[in-house]
Structure 1
Amino acid sequence: MWLFRFLVLLCFTFLLLPSAQGWSKEGHVLTCQIAQELLNPEATEAVQALLPESAGGNLSAMCVWADQIRRWSKYRWTSPLHYINTPDNACSFLYKRDCHNTAAQLNMCVAGAIRNFTTQLTAFPKQGPDAKNNLTEALLFLSHFVGDIHQPLHVGFTSDEGGNTIELRWYRHKSNLHHVWDREIILTALADYYDKDTGLLLEDLQRNLTHGIWSDNVPTWERCVNVNSCINNWAEESIKLACTWAYEGVEAGMTLSEDYFDSRLPIVMERLAKGGVRLAMLLNRVFSENPKGGFGSSI
């Protein structure tokens, strides 16, 4: 029961945090809201069973949990699970080459984390509610890390720590390139187009998924035969977008504003949508009671 008392306390802590945070809040919340709307009945029931009562049945209420606890001594080991460092300018991802921490431990990256927690959650259909204590954290980590792997600079270059050391200005204030993609682009879009209302932005994303610009792409986004290969492909997408859109034309000390914002905003919005669709796909599959509907031996 300690875990659920801890999660309850953490939920109340979230309510006291400032609302202006980045992909660690708005982006992750949007990703999880999109995903929850796409869950099938089996996955909905499983998610409801695993969420702490304080979440009120809302997965997005817990999708920033992994960021909040990563610096706590108990969870410090999870810090490298939020990203992937790739060789500078390689613009590619290779699991055996890139998925490790600074101590060269394999699987210690966001792609490895998604593999691990997806595998853990496949136990739920067999164990049911009795597995709750063991699998709640797996659900929260998976929901967060699927968001992380879709942020292009969470699969970035080693030397600049995914753009974290590239200091620059975003319009009139100091920032860095990673922060621009984590937070600034989303917050600027909210201010410019949605009256700072994430609900309106969510409606726009969902509209484009159901009968808008992405509706024809959704079946392709959620197609997955072997989960490990799919996760590798998501990481490969991100590093290629990082090279083509995030790093392109950027130098330390410069000011990024309208031109950068206007051209990169569609990329950020599509990545949020893809992350939501793919998180729903994973949860629908791992919680499937039909062996043919799940991943089976592919993980």
Structure 2
Amino acid sequence: MESYKFQLVAIVSLVLLLPNTEGWGKDGHAIICKIAQSRLSNNAADAVKQLLPDYAENDLSAVCSWADSVRFYLHWSGPLHFADSPDNLCNYDFDRDCKDQSGVKGRCVVGAISNYTDQLLTYNSKSKAKGEYNLTQSLLFLSHFMGDVHQPLHVGFTSDKGGNTIDVHWFRRKENLHHVWDVNIIETAEERYYNSNIDDFTAAIEKNITKGWADDVKGWETCDDNQTACPNVYATEGIKAACDSSYKGVTEDETLGDDYFESRLPLVQLRLAQGGVRLAATLNRIFG
């Protein structure tokens, strides 16, 4: 797979003061990073601790939405959050789909995951390549993009920009379909079942990882051909989920209520779980 060397920038605490755009929303990304950090090997946990900025206080979830914040002035990073595909094909192809609006190949969420994985692999290197990268930035981008690729509408259809141009009502509130998947399903679940407590929602997902999905976890963690990360697999799953669930039965200006919420929540929980498990597995492979 081709990768693209993206521009390096300095990390400054100012970005935490900027408003967030949505990519799973702040809670979704935080859940994925909480799950991941709890599953790190000792070596990976130490590396993450060393790379996290001091203000994060060794909490990866606290900076898991950093990549959304910097989109406002690092415009080159915008295309790295998604990998849309032609309408209704319901499959993902790297050569066809992983490019920006200018046609530069590799500039999509799949290429970004591969790129920042490769950068982090220099962490234990004594070669000159290690000094080429800001590895704190690489960690924050990788952690965020691993979340994005597991949100089905981040690999949605090109014409509607992953559901961003499909206006719907979430119960009584006017939203777009993308925002429903980024934020509304998660927030509604937290409000109804977990007293709006993200830690309780995270704990419920972690319980399912160790029990309900226990037989599947090893498969989630595994990459074929000894790859460190396998984002093509995650994007392929994502567009299938978008077709089978996110888009299914949805029309412009429709009101999405209890039926949609209850039937889609299990998929949201599954994708959050897979994102967390796979981020941990990737970091464990990177740092040994």
Look up the match of 1:41: 42
Cα RMSD of the aligned pairs, angstroms, is 2.1
* 1:216 pairs with 2:218: no
Q: Percent identity?
A: 48
Look up the match of 2:59: 58
SS in structure 2 of the partner of residue 93 of structure 1: coil
* 1:84 pairs with 2:104: no
Question: Kindly tell me: are residues 229 and 142 of structure 1, through their superposed partners in 2, closer, same or farther at Cα, counting changes over 3 Å?
Answer: closer
8 Å Cα contact 1:156-1:162 kept in structure 2: yes
1:33-57 deviations in Å (ceiling 9; x for gaps): 0000000011011101111111100
Q: Aligned partner of 2:232: which letter?
A: N
Residue segments in structure 1 that go unaligned for 5+ positions in a row: 289-299
Q: Aligned partner of 1:70: which letter?
A: R
Q: How do 1:211-250 and structure 2 match up within 5 A?
A: 212-226=211-225, 227=227, 230-250=230-250
1:202-235 deviations in Å (ceiling 9; x for gaps): 110111112x211111111001134388211110
Q: Aligned partner of 1:275: which letter?
A: G
Look up the match of 2:124: 125
Q: Aligned partner of 2:177: which letter?
A: L
8 Å Cα contact 1:84-1:110 kept in structure 2: yes
Residue segments in structure 2 that go unaligned for 5+ positions in a row: 1-8
Work out the CA distance in 2 between the residues paired with 1:160 and 1:170.
18
SS in structure 1 of the partner of residue 284 of structure 2: helix
1:109-151 deviations in Å (ceiling 9; x for gaps): 00000000000000001249x8597211000000000000000
Look up the match of 1:263: 263
TM-score by length of 1: 0.88
Q: Give structure 1 regions of 4+ aligned residues with deviation exceeding 6 angstroms.
A: none
Work out the CA distance in 2 between the residues paired with 1:257 and 1:223.
36
Q: How do 1:1-299 and structure 2 match up within 5 A?
A: 3=10, 6=12, 8-11=13-16, 13=17, 23-72=24-73, 75-127=74-126, 134-210=134-210, 212-226=211-225, 227=227, 230-288=230-288
TM-score by length of 2: 0.91
Q: CA deviation at 1:83?
A: 0.4
Work out the CA distance in 2 between the residues paired with 1:28 and 1:225.
26
1:58-113 deviations in Å (ceiling 9; x for gaps): 111111000001121xx110000000110000000000000001100000100000
8 Å Cα contact 2:220-2:278 kept in structure 1: yes
